[in-house]
Structure 1
């Protein structure tokens, strides 16, 4: 097992409109017990990706992480959601076994549903 050479990326696709989800706020955390340590607060670019890894080399170690996708604001800005969105912040909690690997955590979202998986 390597330490600190790996990183985490993401990509958000708007499945309601068939396009990348631009300008979505993403906050990533390291989870230790009941404590969440914020690592980054960034937004997606025009391609639904971040311009840098969500969790970069040197910050990744084995353990539990969470990415909060603020998708409700995105759909409200597009006029696809009411004042109280069905999905607001989508938290994805995942584990890292090998801090030397690349982990990709994509989100496919519509105003009323989402899915995720470990991508490549």
Structure 2
């Protein structure tokens, strides 16, 4: 099972990857939205913002998020680490229910470019 530190490191790496992207991925990542990433097996939530093509983690909470973020992601720590490491395909994990992504309709249309 991935640790809290490994999950935070994976989010930092994902942020770096988004910042270095170009084209459609870059435009999708350029949203300015509140963000939560719930790590279900560790019962923690990273909260922050997707801003200027980066993920900015502002806090780590025990349990579920206290406020509803505009973009909400829920998955296990192992799945987060595997996705960022290229071992797990996000689209397949999302389609199978291993990863949950919730956002407004317009944001989902924009975020689909990340797939």
What is the TM-score with the length of structure 1 in the denominator? 0.36
Task: Name the one with the larger helix percent.
Answer: 2
Looking at CA atoms only, which structure, 1 or 2, has the larger radius of gyration? 1
Task: Name the one with the larger strand percent.
Answer: 1
